[in-house]
Amino acid sequence: MRIICLILAIFTFSSFTPLKEDIKRENDRLIHAVMNLRESNRLRLLDQWTKEHSNQDTKYLFLHTFVCEAEHQNNEWYKGEAYFLSAAFFYGFNSDSMRYYIQKAEPLLLKAHRIDNVFKMRTWNIYSLANEGECGQVLPEIQALKDYAKKMHYPMGADMATQCLANFYYVNELTDESVKLYRDALANMNNRHETMERCVYVVSRLINIDTDTTRLKEYSKIINSYINVCNAKKIQILDEINTIDDLKILYNHSLYMIAYAEKKANVMLDYIQLSEKIISDKKLDGEINRIQYARLLYYKLTHDYKKGIPLSETILKRYRKIKRYNKIIQTLKIKSELLAEARLYDEAIACYWQYYTLKDSISAEAQYKALASFSSQHKFNQLKSKNEQLELDATQSNYQITAMYYAIALLVLIFVMMIALVWIFHHHSVRFQKAKHKAEEADHMKSAFLANMNHEIRTPLNAIVGFSQVLTDEEDQESRKQYAEIIENNNILLQQLIGNVLDLSQIESNNISLNYSEVELTSLIKEIYNSMILRMPENVELQIKPCIAFTLYTDKIRLTQVLSNLLNNAIKHTATGFIRLGYDIKENAVRFFVEDTGEGIPEDKLDSIFGRFTQLSSWNKGVGLGLAICKGLVTRMKGSIEVKSKLNEGSRFIITLPISHNSTKTQTAS
């Protein structure tokens, strides 16, 4: 009798909208009435009231009482339920509290075999991690959820993991990929004939992130059909998160987003006001963020920066408090546009800077690589799952006509053979086209190389011929001396050019010979240093790094040629600072290096700087064969060469040569 009276009292209290103080007094009375009931009835009623009330203050009061009473009675089923509802309550605005209750609820729910609730909580946690910008933890958690779904034979769990991945894509501004994954998850759920309660969340996410007007209209029809079903069946509560009022707000949200996409400001405002009325009447504090953001979009559409800028600041404070970084990014972008319209350019630039800084901090390159890898694995798992399903269907099917089976097998065999023949033909055709393209490209590059070499050879040759003729007619001894120096310099350049061409030709034809002997490296470095010191520019210092004395079994002449070429290259590109030469002894190799503080190498040249028959560019100084020869010689010596460089900061060339059994280490030299 007391329970019936209590329910009648609740119905009476819910039939009008009292003031906040009145709500508090009536809630206290209800809690007091519950505590006077028998213990067996308290938990059931507290569970029911917690789910029925949408006002946050009231819900929290009942929820706190529910948790305390369940712990007091030590009822494991209701403790799991109370902890689960607490996690659902804090989801979206207090992640720490949510995770606290998830940790307490999961073992109790597993013990009661409430797998669906366990997967829901894990999904909330992953969503919260993504929204808080904890991207490094998201992908491992998604993979763990997929593995757990497979272990528990729970297909819906795999769809939940897909939804988490879709949200992660959205947080990282990969909206198209996010929409595709959510739509795939919805299609899978429809194929399994999942309930409306399970599908509504996916549809709500699509409404929130998809900007395609046609698809938004499709989603709004789905939500409207859900509302009609709830009205027909007099359903007020769908699950621990969604109520019929949430569906109505979501439906209005889809309609005002369609109006926003179609730039119909008046229509958009009408649906926003409908949602605001529901939120106000039902005191749905959890929907304030959504409706305020909708208002901000309306102000952006109507160019009302006077109202939009203050509202954006309010929204940013709320989103920063709950760590919703993706919404912070979107709001910062809108705020910067409103500031620009208000001609507050300095503030707009500062806001843009915050937007791009936060966006870049979340969307790191390494993270995108991890995302791409996880996406590939996800697609592979989808194909694998489909194949397994097809195999299961084939196993369950019973062929009754043996002749038909063999006929199908024969047709499949013929089809496979045809596909194989087509593939072989296509493969050979592709290889032929690639070979043809490669040959044409090589011919073009060689032609360009020869044309360039013709120009480079003519330059010193013309100087030699021209000044030789002038020298015979010149009587002034000082002028004759200058002409002779010019002829000598161009003669050296011509000899060096021809020598480089011959070396490159020998390397290309694989005819170059190597003469190995024991080379004392510290002496070799000093010899190279002495030969290069006089060629250094006025403001550049040539340095030798202190190295361990070491005897390497190698070709001294070719090693000297490689290091000299690298030093010459450094001299050409270094105006001030230093050029440093040295080597390090590693476990099985010697690593020589030439580093400078010069102009550096453009990033787009790093991959092609060692290329052969490469067309010279404005960056190159000289003929441009030195690095190609260096790579060819080092490769023939079974070593490797690499470069690390930043524009305007300098370059570091590293040569790695293997250590043979003839090589020995002695003492430290400076």
Instruction: Give the least confident one: 52-66, 248-262, 296-310, 613-627.
Output: 613-627
Give yes or no for residue 387 having a pLDDT over 50. no
> Who has greater pLDDT, 33 or 551?
551
Q: What is the mean pLDDT of residues 176-199?
A: 86
> Who has greater pLDDT, 664 or 43?
43
Which amino acid, 383?
L
Q: Which residues contact 609 (CB under 8 A, 6 or more apart)?
A: 601, 627, 643
SS3 658: strand
**Of all helices (H) and strands (E), which one includes residue 652?**
strand 650-658
In this prediction, residue 202 carries a pLDDT of 87
Q: Which residue, 552, 606, 610, 555, is CA-closest to 583?
A: 552
Q: What is the mean pLDDT of residues 630-646?
A: 89
In this prediction, residue 652 carries a pLDDT of 93
> Who has greater pLDDT, 434 or 612?
434
SS3 140: helix
Q: How far apart are CA 317 and CA 323, in angstroms?
A: 10
Largest Cα span, the chain: 134
Work out the burial of residue 609: count CB atoms within 10 Å of its CB; fewer than 13 is exposed, 13-18 middle, 19 or more buried.
Answer: buried
Q: How far apart are CA 35 and CA 65, in angstroms?
A: 9
Give yes or no for residue 2 having a pLDDT over 60. no
Instruction: Report residue 494 as tokens.
Output: 């011509």
In this prediction, residue 455 carries a pLDDT of 59
Average pLDDT of the chain?
A: 78
**DSSP 8-state code for residue 173:** T
H-assigned helices in 363-401: 365-396
- Whether the model clears a pTM of 0.85, i.e. scores above it, the answer is no
Distances (CA, A) of 333 to 329, 330, 354, 549, 651: 6, 5, 9, 60, 39
SS3 159: helix
In this prediction, residue 357 carries a pLDDT of 81
Q: Which residues contact 483 (CB under 8 A, 6 or more apart)?
A: 467, 470, 471, 474
In this prediction, residue 292 carries a pLDDT of 86
Counting residues of the chain whose pLDDT is more than 90, the rounded percentage is 10
Q: How far apart are CA 15 and CA 250, in angstroms?
A: 24
Give yes or no for residue 448 having a pLDDT over 70. no
Q: Which residue, 662, 520, 637, 516, is CA-closest to 583?
A: 520
> Who has greater pLDDT, 370 or 219?
219
